[in-house]
Amino acid sequence: MKITICGSIAFQDEVLSVKEKLEKLGHEVRLWPLQLKDERGKLISAKEYYKIRKIAADDEKWVWDRKAEAVLEHFDKVAWSDAILVANYDKNDIKGYIGGNTLMEMGLAFFLKKKIYLLNEIPELPYKEEILGVRPIILGGDLSKIA
Amino acid sequence: MKIFICGSMHFAKKMLEVKKKLEEMGHVAEVPCDTQEFANNHKMTTDNHEENYKWCIDNDIIRKCFNSVAENDAILLLNYPKNGINGYVGASGLMEIGLAYYLNKKIFLLYPPPPVKEAKYSHEILIIQPTILNGNLNLIS
């Protein structure tokens, strides 16, 4: 199956491990780019970019331009896939956190009639109903349930 | 222009008012399919999450709204203050903005989204660069 992983760069190490496991299971997997260009066009790692973005001011144009590009690129990957896997690890003291960007990707996947897998349980967030509304399949950490 | 009006159903009555105004301005405006029900029935509320979820699932509301985003030229999100948050955008609104961006539709917000400090998702909205109307529907073009 063609699978696009969605989630936060904060969990890149975990996601890379998930990608490897999925590939061993015979799936074709895409995720966000591991490198991006900084304001001078120099390639930096996604993790480095994430660190910069976390403290970036609203007017640091190149930072937000990269993010806008990444949003659209990832939407295209959602469209390419048969299914998305939301890598929802614990974040900000919330179990199975899902952020705004990932929520948009889940919405797009639902519109495009893709399967939506959640790696972990549905988070207790004010928008839990909307997450449930796009009919995700909860894996409980078990990738072999993807079919 | 064909415009899909979206936002929290808490503002169903306002949605119908804005629809009328847009039509008077020469636009073709659509509201979510359950707007009239919410406007007419004071017992229907977005505050009861469980009931609201059941209503959305039973009536396939999320998909119907997404299809409306796809069928129109633009979306207009009525982000009136809610829950003490100025420019409130709910999860459905956020998903509709993302879908409209993917489908290359025009995106109008009636008011600026909440400050990033209050709502982290505002970054996602701002990088999409919607047109902020500051309450003025005449700015729609």
Residue with tokens 């399967």: A115
Label residue A36 left, alpha or beta by phi (over 0 means left) and psi (-120 to 50 means alpha): beta
Say whether A103 and B94 touch across the interface (CB within 8 A).
Answer: yes
In total, the C-beta contacts within 8 angstroms joining chain A to chain B are 86
Rounded CA-CA distance A119/A58 in Å is 32
**What is residue B52's predicted lDDT score, i.e. its pLDDT?**
81
Shortest CA distance to A101 belongs to which of A120, A90, A82, A87? A87
Q: At what angle do helices B61-71 and B49-58 cross, to 10 degrees?
A: 60
- State pLDDT tens for residues A10-66: 899 999 999 999 999 999 999 999 999 999 999 999 999 999 998 988 788 899 999
The pLDDT of residue A4 is above 90:
yes
Instruction: Write out residues 68-107 of B within 8 Å (CB-CB) of A.
Output: 70, 90-92, 94-99, 101-102
Q: Sheet of A137-138: strands edge to edge?
A: A28-30, A2-6, A83-86, A115-118, A137-138
Kindly list the residues from chain B whose CB atom is less than 8 angstroms away from the CB atom of residue A123. none
Rounded CA-CA distance A145/A139 in Å is 6
Say whether A110 and B62 touch across the interface (CB within 8 A).
Answer: yes
Which percentage of chain A shows pLDDT scores above 70?
Answer: 100
- Nearest-by-Cβ selection for B95 from A75, A104, A126: A104
**What is residue A52's predicted lDDT score, i.e. its pLDDT?**
93
C-alpha distance from B28 to closest chain A C-alpha (Å): 23
Rounded CA-CA distance A95/B6 in Å is 30
Instruction: Report pTM.
Output: 0.93
Kindly list the residues from chain A whose CB atom is less than 8 angstroms away from the CB atom of residue B52. 129
Query: Mean pLDDT for each 10-residue chunk of chain B (141 residues)?
Result: 95 96 98 93 74 86 96 98 92 96 97 90 91 97 88
Say whether A68 and B116 touch across the interface (CB within 8 A).
Answer: no
The nearest alpha carbon in chain B to A63 belongs to: B127
A71 and B127 Cβ atoms separated by less than 8 Å: yes
The answer to whether residue B60 neighbours chain A at the CB level (below 8 Å) is no
When the pLDDT of each residue in chain A is averaged and rounded to a whole number, the result is 94
3-class state of residue A132 by DSSP: helix
In what helix (H) or strand (E) does residue A63 lie, and over which residues does it extend?
helix A61-80
Q: Sheet of B74-77: strands edge to edge?
A: B28-30, B2-6, B74-77, B106-109, B131-132
Q: Which two tokens stand for residue B97?
A: 């903005």
The ipTM assigned to this model is: 0.92
